[in-house]
Amino acid sequence: MPAQVRELRQRIRSVKSTAKITRAQEMIATSRIVKAQHAVAASKPYADQIVAALTALVSHNVGIDHPLLHEQPEDSRSAVVVITSDRGFCGGYNANVLREAEALAQRLRDRGREPVMYLVGNKGLTWYRFRDRDYAEAWTGFSDRPTFDSAERIGRRVAEDFLKTDAEGGVGEIHVIYTEFHSMLTQEVQVRRLIPLEISEREDDGTGPVLPAYEFEPSAKDALDLMLPNYIESRIFHMLLQSAASEHAARRRAMKSATDNANELIDVYTRLMNQARQAAITQEISEIVGGADALADSGGE
């Protein structure tokens, strides 16, 4: 019995130490998620406006020719940007993204295209390295606090590969897999085709929203050359911010669950320890009473 009590005390101390760690992680994630939400909200108007500007440009210049607006069937490779986290303790956040990446890669192979992976986040990089999978490039160290410089590096690389020919190792389309933040309880993995752009060419018929009347100098094509890199970088930046907010929310939820489970386990171990101590005391009392009865019986004889 004393050995069982000591073992339960050691388990309680161990679980309490774990609970302190998970509680601290929960508090850190809670403090950071507010800033991440503000960053997402601040980036959304710019992302919406640049999409509106590109839509207006294409709609007012129907038939404009640009490599980023059209698929390149001669290229048999498709880029897939996978956005994961650098750290763990966030439940199924990374597993959901990687599962969707595998599903997209299989769909691309079924279409006869070769997926080329571009990895964002140390967890995705570790997953592919462990399985000895090939990837084009990886970026790590900023998943929870992305900057525009990081998005610019990613956007520049994928755009350059898109403009290359198939013989040069180029890609014909670019997909991004990230986690969209809806609320503290809801985050959803999204698959978006970044380029070629999915912008519908339409004219203002009076039934939809009025398109802004932009004037382009020297030409619409030159303006498109300048806007498209900004479009790619801003969209990737917005996706990185969405993923960062989702990462913090997933970590907070996972750490809260871990802390609650630890507290429940401490209660169970404490109850078992008390029962073991009570059983040990009862056994000692029984032995004392039994010894006294034996002495009484021997004295009487």
Mean pLDDT by 10 residues, the chain (301 residues): 80 91 90 89 84 72 64 78 93 94 95 93 96 94 92 92 83 93 91 76 50 65 76 91 95 92 92 82 73 64 54
What is the model's pLDDT at position 227?
Answer: 77
| In contact, 188 and 96? CB cutoff 8 Å | no
Tokens of 20: 């302190």
The pTM score is 0.81
What is the model's pLDDT at position 136?
Answer: 93
> Residue 284 belongs to what H/E stretch?
helix 220-300
What is the model's pLDDT at position 195?
Answer: 82
Tokens of 186: 């809801």
What is the model's pLDDT at position 95?
Answer: 95
Q: Is 57 helix (H, G, I), strand (E, B) or coil?
A: helix
Pick the CATH number of 59-199+211-250 from 3.40.1380.10, 3.20.20.100, 3.40.50.720, 3.40.50.300: 3.40.1380.10
Tokens of 237: 């930046």
247 closest CA partner among 93, 44, 21: 93
User: What sign has the CA pseudo-torsion 216, 219, 224, 225?
Assistant: negative
Task: Read off the DSSP letter of residue 1.
Answer: -
